[in-house]
Amino acid sequence: MGSEVARRAKGLGMKVVAYDPYAPAERVRAVGAEMVSFDEALAAGDFFSLHMPLTSTTQNLFNKQAFAKMKKGAFVINVARGGVIEDAALVEALDAGIVKGAALDVFEEEPPAADHPLVKRPDVVCTPHLGASTQEAQEAVAVEIAEAVVGALKGELSSTSVNAPMVSAEVLTELRPYVALVEKLGRIAVQLVSGSGGVKDVKVTYTSGRSDGLDTRLLRAMITKGLVEPVSDTIVNIVNADYTAKQRGLRITEERQPTERDEILTSVSVALANTETRFSSCRDSSGAIAVEGCVRFGVPYLTRVGNFAVDISLEGPILFCRQQDQPGMIGAVGTILAKDNVNISFMSVARQGPRTTAIMAIGVDDRPSQEALAAISAVAAIEEVVYLALDA
């Protein structure tokens, strides 16, 4: 409820601050709010909307001392629980003009007595806490639950899950194509690893034009899914991703690089440090296995492998060849694949200069046989070959 109020307040051009000792800062930023301390919130607020449960720590949270720290002329809305506001203190604050007006949907005793000091005041609006009990509300909840269940069964992301990263429906719409991208980047990166050491250190860099609103937990979960599932029997989802990463010893660090483009994301890069690789051209200048991608018209693209700029649509398996750039290479590899009855969807070459080391990326519809891969590796100018599957 509080997050919904925050979104609507932001839509009205208001600056929103929040106090919640339990909510992750990322979750607060995801709705466009700023996390502050309780005293900071009291000093800054013009409107207070309360949405906490009634516990021993929230009982009479808004008391005489709290009201004394507010700006004069504030408004208070309590749609949480009766008892989080000390009634006598609110009466004093209203009489003193500290609180200019209040809206109360809950009381310590419900219904409140007819002579309750906050009832029938011209500066207090009282409502009977029946919003969720109307026929319209019950129908809306039933429809929402049914739609959420159907979406979950279809494997769609949810903006209402309580035990998964919370992302608003609006932000989720923007992030959805990048969710597919980051999982594929994870799958590509882990398939470039060799040796028994596995993956331990992962650095994810998000290029974003937004100073707030980017909750990376969902993206981090999908990167973990891409890194773990191709090399294990573990099924990773947005609920267990962080736990799975911890159990497997994955150290994932994240950073955001600003850009002038007003987009929630423009690119994402994944780098695996301190690991061996079976494709040396995927190493960047720091020695890490590095891949980077973006989204164009809803389709994920691979834009960099190591220090090589590429432009590859991530819609199917890919064959990478490290080679010396020279005439006849495309024809030689294409002929081998044709003999293996493997259809090519695209072929592109990334190089750092004419007749130098190059990467040939080949989109294929099927996995080439071991014999075909060995034949490609045997081509004189080819130094390395790796096949990458992008789907589970």
The set of catalytic residues is 81, 110, 129
Give the SS3 label for residue 368: coil
Instruction: Give the sheet arrangement for strand 289-296, strand by strand.
Output: 251-258, 201-208, 267-273, 289-296, 299-305, 308-313
Q: Are 75 and 48 within 8 A, CB to CB?
A: yes
Token duo for residue 294: 């973006």
**d(C-alpha 205, C-alpha 229), whole Å:** 21
CA of 186: how far to CAs of 193, 199, 226, 328, 359, in Å? 11, 11, 4, 33, 20
For residue 228, how many C-alpha atoms fall within 13 Å in the half-sphere facing its CB?
Answer: 25
d(CA 6, CA 18): 9
Going by the DSSP 8-state scheme, the letter that residue 48 receives in this structure is E
CB 70 within 8 A of CB 44: no
The structure tokens listed for 77 are 């809305």
Do 195 and 34 touch, CB atoms closer than 8 A?
no
Task: Please name which of 33, 26, 40, 27 lies closest in space to residue 5, comparing C-alpha atoms.
Answer: 33
AA letter at 105: D
The contacts of residue 257 (CB under 8 Å, 6+ apart) are 205, 206, 207, 208
Distance CA(297)–CA(261), nearest Å, equals: 16
Query: Alpha-carbon distance 226 to 236, whole Å?
Result: 9
Give first-to-last CA distance, the chain, whole Å: 37
Alpha-carbon gap, residue 185 to 225, rounded angstroms: 10
Single-letter residue type at 92 = E
Q: Compute CA distances 291 → 309, 352, 357, whole Å.
A: 10, 17, 18
